[in-house]
Structure 1
């Protein structure tokens, strides 16, 4: 790999690809070296394209772009490691969306705490077109997160986005135990 005057090398110097008779022309070799310097960043980017789409290797400023590809949103307050994990697990999280397990996993990833999700059920069916639901408890979701200092409002927003809209919920955050 020949280095360019700017310091970024190129594995394909254009001068070496010219026919032999043109490689003897000093001006033409200098001219192609200038072009090498211009296109070296593009070649380096294309050579490393796999690293840009791998959440474990992508530069931190590309994580938002990569998250858009897998249909997930990143919280700006999350660490780079949390953002990488959210992108890497996006497919699994989408697969579990709408389930208690999926909600638990999403909250564990976002908060780093121990998550307990309980729901009252709320699924009913009837042979009659109009069903009388009296005597049945309404659907309700309770989320308890232990061992973290995340705000209840942030967790509330995550739960609101993940649960069915008609199901009321309650969020409790039990902070980290501080030694006495």
Structure 2
């Protein structure tokens, strides 16, 4: 059995992919009417078509919002982002998609708020001490006269949809290191 172009089709096998760039189109015009040249280049088109089509679709694999589920974890490794298994896939995709911006704001309260908003599908409330300190020496010991803390209250839209340990891990990763934190997950 063969297709109109003369290509052989094996019964039960998937239909051959058409080549988006047939080789006969790239040969000099004198070969355009030559049936042998058309059949000869069609054989290469059959071999190259799956490769070309895969390369043409590679953007779908490296875009975290489009990539298959298994690729989202692989993409997260490109940015050094640790994803929690308990997060919904939409949150994992969002964290990978915004990884650069989240790292840029890391260690700030705005960064902590944004990271939590991306991961938590619900309301996030952050209260901080507002304590600041400065030093004229590089790498001073942490000050003992100023209290630094942050309290995070989370209200997910779907109760029990969020692991408290996963939210605590996000807080530890996004807040400044020397700041103590507490977490409360409300229904």
TM range (shorter): 0.7 to 0.9
Q: Please tell me the root mean square deviation across aligned C-alpha atoms, in Å.
A: 3.4
Give the whole-Å Cα distance in 1 for the aligned partners of 2:96 and 2:174: 17
1:162 to 151, 171, 174: 174
1:77–1:29 CA distance, 2 compared to 1 (3 A): farther
| CA apart distance, 1:29 | 4.4
1:100–1:59 CA distance, 2 compared to 1 (3 A): same
1:128–1:59 CA distance, 2 compared to 1 (3 A): closer
Partner of 1:24: 34
| CA apart distance, 1:25 | 5.5
Matches within 5 A, 1:97-116: 97-116=106-125
Structure with higher RCO (Cα < 8 A, 6+ apart): 2
Conserved 8 A contact 2:116-2:170: yes
Matches within 5 A, 1:58-69: 58-69=67-78
TM-score of the pair, normalised by structure 1: 0.73
Number of residue-to-residue matches in the alignment: 172
Any stretches of 5+ residues in structure 1 without a counterpart? 176-180
Task: Report Cα offsets for 1:120-152 as digits up to 9, x if no partner.
Answer: 234223579999x66x34322221111342222
Any stretches of 5+ residues in structure 2 without a counterpart? 10-14
Conserved 8 A contact 1:115-1:143: yes
